[in-house]
Amino acid sequence: MARRTARRALLGYNVRMVRSVPMTSQPPAWLLRAGYHAIGALFALPDTLLGLLAGPVPPEAAGLEPDAWLVARLSERARLPAGELPPAQMRARFELLATPFSARRLPALQRSDHELAGPAGPIPARLYRPAQAPTRGPLLVYYHGGGWVQGSIASHDHACGLLAHLSGVRVLSIEYRLAPEHPFPAAADDALAAYAQAAERHAELDVDPGRLAIGGDSAGGNLAAVTAQALRGDRSLPAPALQLLIYPALDMSRRRESRRLFGERFLLTEQTMAWYEDQYVPDLGLRADPRVSPLLADLSGLPPAHIATCLADPLRDEGEDYARGLRQAGVPVALQRHPLVHGFFNQTVTRSAHRAVAAIAGALRQAFA
């Protein structure tokens, strides 16, 4: 009983910290600091204690890391129904939640902001150059997650910086247009334009145009896969050396078993995904288009891929089906299922997520070895 009471108290404190933040303006600095330190202190506890605080892992997610299950529990208690807030407030909340769950400290990195030419105007981008990065070194063009509706350079700032540091590879984070204001194909068009600009402006970015990779998480993984397919056979642009797909969303045309198993209680829910899809592709007739569902495309002739999926993620089966499809098409692919939940790229305050990002960074580094 005492253990259960302590668990509820600690979970409740961190949930109240999130819910108490006003979404119509920038939260006060003291509240951000308090939330940051509270989350950091919580996940600094030993795994055994984190497991006790989170409670038993459901049978369908056996093997899930204790800190990942605790992240899911916190998310479940703090969640607001998708679409309850106006888009601007929802995006502010998404960025706010990303910060306290990110890595505590980042090494010194050179950050520089850029504007890339896009089909509907400038596309903001941020370049992360790790310390001791070689002149004219390789570059990863990266598309953030957020269901095509939210997410930004800011929400993924810590994560992209950490990936650049751990891999030794420059990372160019792309802020593409978001739905519902800009439905499909706006994000896909921006993603392709950003890659083309990175290749064309290689001297300004101090990168080798022959050593480019493409990647993203969740909806960003979708855009990375779509862009890799669009570049196939285009001799005017260098082919990516790698597709780095982190728990990607790859097929909007049907529901797989992992969406049934993990569509509740594991951070990303079925209701949220359906709402995202309705915002990005409101026309149901377009959902089988390979630029929406790249899993339905011909997968031959694509760049090598590293695909990271999560044990307890509604999108798990899509990523793993894509890996099988690539192998059948003769494309080299590495698949790693992490014992985590969706969103771990932005959860590196936890030890397990930090290890997963380190493994992904190793794959990126190896692609350019």
Look over the chain and give the mean of its residue pLDDT values, rounded to a whole number.
91
Asked if residue 269 belongs to a domain, the reply is yes
The helix (run of H) or strand (run of E) holding residue 347 is none
Confidence of residue 32 (pLDDT cuts 50, 70, 90): low
**Is the preceding omega at residue 238 within 30 degrees of 0, hence cis?**
no
Domain count across the chain = 2
Which pLDDT does position 4 carry in this prediction?
53
**Is the preceding omega at residue 240 within 30 degrees of 0, hence cis?**
no
Residue range of the domain that includes 28: 2-85
Asked if residue 45 belongs to a domain, the reply is yes
Integer angstrom CA distances of residue 299 from 68, 133, 327, 333: 32, 33, 9, 12
Q: Are residues 153 and 279 in the same domain?
A: yes
Q: Are residues 190 and 327 in the same domain?
A: yes
Q: How many CB atoms lie within 10 A of CB 47?
A: 15
Integer angstrom CA distances of residue 49 from 40, 55, 349: 14, 10, 16
**Domain limit, last residue, from 85, 101, 129:** 85
Confidence of residue 1 (pLDDT cuts 50, 70, 90): very low
pLDDT in tens, 313-367: 999 999 999 999 999 999 999 999 999 999 999 999 999 999 999 999 999 999 9
Asked if residue 96 belongs to a domain, the reply is no
**Is the preceding omega at residue 290 within 30 degrees of 0, hence cis?**
no
CATH code of residue 334: 3.40.50.1820
Retrieve residue 280's tokens.
């990005």
Q: Are residues 136 and 240 in the same domain?
A: yes
Q: Are residues 54 and 161 in the same domain?
A: no
User: Is the pLDDT at 216 greater than 90, yes or no?
Assistant: yes
Q: Are residues 138 and 241 in the same domain?
A: yes
Q: Are residues 47 and 131 in the same domain?
A: no
219 three-state secondary structure: helix
Between 359 and 33, residue with greater pLDDT: 359
The helix (run of H) or strand (run of E) holding residue 120 is none
Residue 202 neighbours by CB under 8 Å, 6+ apart: 136, 139, 208, 209
Confidence of residue 99 (pLDDT cuts 50, 70, 90): confident
CB 211 within 8 A of CB 239: no
pLDDT in tens, 250-306: 999 999 999 999 999 999 999 999 999 999 999 999 999 999 999 999 999 999 999
Asked if residue 31 belongs to a domain, the reply is yes
- pLDDT above 70 covers a percentage of the chain that reads 91
pLDDT in tens, 142-170: 999 999 999 999 999 999 999 999 999 99
**Domain limit, last residue, from 50, 85, 120:** 85
Asked if residue 224 belongs to a domain, the reply is yes
What is the C-alpha to C-alpha distance for residues 177 and 191, in angstroms, rounded to an integer?
Answer: 9
Q: Are residues 43 and 142 in the same domain?
A: no
Which pLDDT does position 20 carry in this prediction?
45
Residues recognised as catalytic? 218, 313, 342
Between 16 and 176, residue with greater pLDDT: 176
Q: Are residues 72 and 123 in the same domain?
A: no
CA quadruple 162, 165, 168, 173: dihedral positive or negative? positive
136 three-state secondary structure: coil
Which pLDDT does position 328 carry in this prediction?
98
What is the C-alpha to C-alpha distance for residues 278 and 286, in angstroms, rounded to an integer?
Answer: 11
Q: Are residues 133 and 78 in the same domain?
A: no
